[in-house]
Amino acid sequence: MDYSRNIKILTWQGFFIGFSLWAPIAAIYFSKVSGSYALGLSIFSIAMVSSAIFEIPTGIFSDLIGRKYTTMLGGLFYMLAGIFYALGFNYWWLVVGAIMEGLARSFYSGNNDALLYDSLNKSDRKEELEKFMGFIGGAEQLAFGFAGLLGGILAYKYSFNLVMWLSAIPLFLCFFTSFWLVEIENKEKNEGNIFIHLKEAVGNFIKNKKIRLLSLSSIIGFGQGEAGFQFTPVFVASLWPLWAIGIARMLSNTGAAVGFWLSGKIIKKFRPEKILIFEQISSKILNFIALLFPSVASPALMSTTSIMYGPSSVAENSIFQNEFTDKQRATMGSLNSFGRSIFFAICAVGLGLIADKTSPRIALIVGQIVGLLSVWLTWKLYKLLRNDTGKEN
């Protein structure tokens, strides 16, 4: 059986998901359809919260019904989300689209990493996990960068509706390509009660200190980091003209793509835990400099932190996949994604409230201070893994 086909399809699906032409104009489009900025921005929150709600059951389903069928369901709901967004007759059509998108994300989150790991393991190429995680992440980030620029131009020259309908095409391709995936039998598949399955996964989280430290660091780091990333354009707008905001985002996505592509080579040279702690410390230093001493160079300086985002993400996934059990690989991944989604929602609301009372810059600084907790947890993990390596030697 040619399991390498799965790797190629997952890479293409990463590109299709990233090619979101609507990304730079989504907030404007949602606000126009709903009639207010508050309702328009609530669509993003609904998508994230629904993703969090569905995370754990979809992860369990992946371990029970198989990776291929879970990926097919994810592609189907991504396609439906794109259609409901494009139809956009009123606010409630957008709400349905957001729920569909959240469901699609939850089907993909823990499942696709598990499918990649299983495919490499069956092909006796498990040691190349970091390399292919980098390829997939790089393809997605590169697509984000190009689509961001192209979507803005199309919306300016033609219409928002055209951009939304064109954005549904890559999502259809995600669903269509899933049919060519090769299913991988899970010999340790648990046929019992899903609540027992979940209880066992939570037990693994509690007992395994490495998973516990990395999960907490990941949850806090993602929640604070992603909320800040989505809010950063407001800060950039105070320093750069409006037309240049897309350039700042493209620089970030391009830097992330380069980082993902190089991540396999970087992880071969440096251990995953070293990459994690380096990314955490260096990004905090650069962001603090850009925010504490704001200047026309601040947006570009903040964009440079994306270069290590790829290697750090791959390093984190590598540690997770090596610690997860085969029986509950997707479930454990979904537990982590659940926590990340919930903390993102909390941070997004918190940043907005602080910005209303003070300023966007102050809100982002507070977010960076919260992120220091993730640095501390990563440092504890680094010392634990370093001690384990020393014992092996």
pLDDT value of residue 254: 83
Task: Give the whole-angstrom CA distance, residue 135 versus residue 3.
Answer: 17
3-state SS assignment for residue 270: coil
- Name the percent of the chain in helix, strand, coil, to the closest 5: 90, 0, 10
Report how far Cα 36 is from the mean position of its chain's Cα atoms. 27
Q: Are 86 and 161 in contact (CB under 8 A)?
A: yes
Which residue, 124, 114, 140, is CA-closest to 4?
124
Domains for the chain: give ranges and CATH numbers.
4-177+194-392 (1.20.1250.20)
Inter-residue contact 242 to 366 (CB < 8 Å): no
C-alpha–C-alpha distance, residues 260 and 306, integer Å:
10
Whether this model's pTM surpasses 0.85: no
Beta strands, E only, 181-239: none
Question: Strand, helix or coil at 67?
Answer: helix
State the 10-residue block means of pLDDT for the chain, 393 residues long.
Answer: 82 89 77 76 81 77 81 94 94 95 86 83 78 80 81 80 93 92 68 57 72 87 85 80 72 83 81 88 94 93 88 81 63 75 82 81 93 92 77 56
Task: Give the pLDDT confidence score for residue 76 in this predicted structure.
Answer: 95
> Which residues are within 8 A (CB) of 388 and not within 5 positions of it... i.e. 6 or more apart?
none
d(CA 315, CA 382): 12
The Cα 328–Cα 229 span in angstroms is 31
Q: What string of DSSP letters covers 146-181?
A: HHHHHHHHHHHHS-HHHHHHHHHHHHHHHHHHGGGP
Each residue of 233-259: b (16+ CB within 10 Å) or e? Answer: bbbbeebbeeeebbbbbbbbbbbbbbb
